[in-house]
Amino acid sequence: MDSNGVVEWAVVESDIGPLMLAATETGLVSVVFHATPEIRDRTLERLCARLGAEPVEAPGSARLAEPVRQLAAYFAGTLREFSLDLDWSLTAGFNRQVLRELARGVPYGAVAGYGELAERVGQPGAAQAVGAAMGSNPLPVVVPCHRVVENDGGIGGFGGGLETKRQLLALEGVLPQPLF
């Protein structure tokens, strides 16, 4: 990132708890679940190290306005497809390839298996590597790693926790809403 590249961030409330959003001039670069002060501080250190820019808290940021608006609409059930500029600089290689395929090819309300995604990017034996790519996803919810499940019908792992994954899949109508 060039020396004048600024990373702006803010924490917003959502149905799955506080989310930390960060954006560069290129686009949304990071979405972090459960944005407690400790997680926020760790994320800021990581962003600074990875992007070479000191993140600036900017809750009213024009850069973050559209991601905040689209996430609110998603949680309200009125937005099914994000149309945001994304900055992919926190991921590379196979992981980026898999995440881009996921963002493009697994729509709202659908799920895909780890093995199926591996096949889609031309690496049919790489289901475990797909799992690792999902775990390293810097843009969860927007790049919907919650839609990747085990081929035997198991829900699979999730960086935001299984309860969060269940909530997102229920929101999209893939799983039944919990009764209580």
Active site residues: 145
Q: What residue has token string 């809750």?
A: 59
Q: How far apart, in whole angstroms, are the C-alpha atoms of residue 108 and residue 172?
A: 6
**Tokens at residue 69, please?**
């608006």
**Tokens at residue 45, please?**
């250190």
Longest dimension (CA), the chain: 51
Give, in order, the Cα–Cα distances in Å from 158 to each of 2, 83, 169: 33, 23, 12
Backbone angles phi, psi at 86, to 5 degrees: -115, 140
Who contacts 76 (Cβ-Cβ below 8 Å, separation ≥6)? none
